Amino acid sequence: MMLELLLFAALLLGAYFLLHMTFLKLPRCKSTAKLHGKTAVVTGANTGIGKTTAMDLARRGARVILACRDRRRAEAAAQEIIQETGNSQVVFMHLDLSSLASVRSFAEEFLRSESRLDLLINNAGLMNGGKTEDGFGMIFGVNHLGHFLLTVLLLERLKASGRSRVVTVSSKAYKMGTVDFTCLRTHRDVSLGDSDLQLFHKYCSSKLCNVLFTHELAKRLQGSDTTCYCLHPGTIQTEIGRYAGFWWSLLTKPIVFLFFVDPESGAQTTLHCALEQGIEHASGRFFSCCAPQLNIEPKATDDAAAAKLWELSERFCGLA
């Protein structure tokens, strides 16, 4: 009986290893680009995919701005990146995406202190309940609206820097999202409710907003040397759900542990979109596994919805 159990356990381990080496193994960014003299901003760069992305960009010689809310964690991340890469041009600048005033303050400080911007990596994301400082749903406010305002405020500096890129980390979860414009106008949120399931739907909807934002941004960037991309990083072990409820955590943590991959793997498509040469024609496209996706859902490329979301976001941010 013991031998049978051992054989069964060995088969399970073998199947799990095979799964990780095939279906769960993500492709790597193959770019050998060097970034000396270039400047990159990475939001949410003190942990997870953002930190890994910042580490790689610093290793390639870029000046990297860690745009984060938590000063202590961000400064610790900056020191670690400097030690690992030998690049001293890694600095923290405070940015709280749940506050439009903070986004404006960050943009003002950046434009005053930095002469160029080559890469804007809109990486930060969360799945928390509650409201932002300005009364928007937290998930919509941080994952979409804060990044929208940040991008718009830095757009002229991106254009003036030559061949620059905006890379927004979305998710294939966009497929389960909706953009309810009536709810947005009435409640300043993509949907109502704060149960774990309702928060997950809000997260999916915010990721759809990311894709629509990139779709519309690409149109507005036509004729310039700035391009934009959004992406699915993969199923990654990050801290995005660290404030989730007890039962949601109990349900998801074993799945995350067994089937989600590390942040280094998750950063590869971000890096591909930021660095790979010859993808400029794919501006506005949705990437996964270091490649543009052909089976994007129609709701993510709806011209009317993308334009409406942009115009509403402008009004929410006081730009129109």
Catalytic residue positions, numbered: 203
β-pair partners for 167? 121, 229
Look up residue 285 and give its amino acid. Answer: R
Task: Sort strands 119-122 and 63-68 into parallel, antiparallel or unpaired.
Answer: unpaired
Query: Residue 146 gets which letter from DSSP?
Result: I
Q: Determine the Cα–Cα distance for residues 204 and 208; give it in Å rounded to an integer.
A: 6
Cβ pair 302, 212 in contact under 8 A = yes
Look up residue 192 and give its amino acid. Answer: L
**Tokens found for residue 187:** 């409640």
Residues near 191 by beta carbon (within 8 Å), at least 6 away in sequence: 178, 180, 183, 198, 201, 202, 205
**H or E element in which residue 45 lies:** none
| Torsion angle of the four alpha carbons 21, 250, 245, 66, in this order, in degrees rounded to the nearest 10 | -30
**H or E element in which residue 165 lies:** strand 164-169
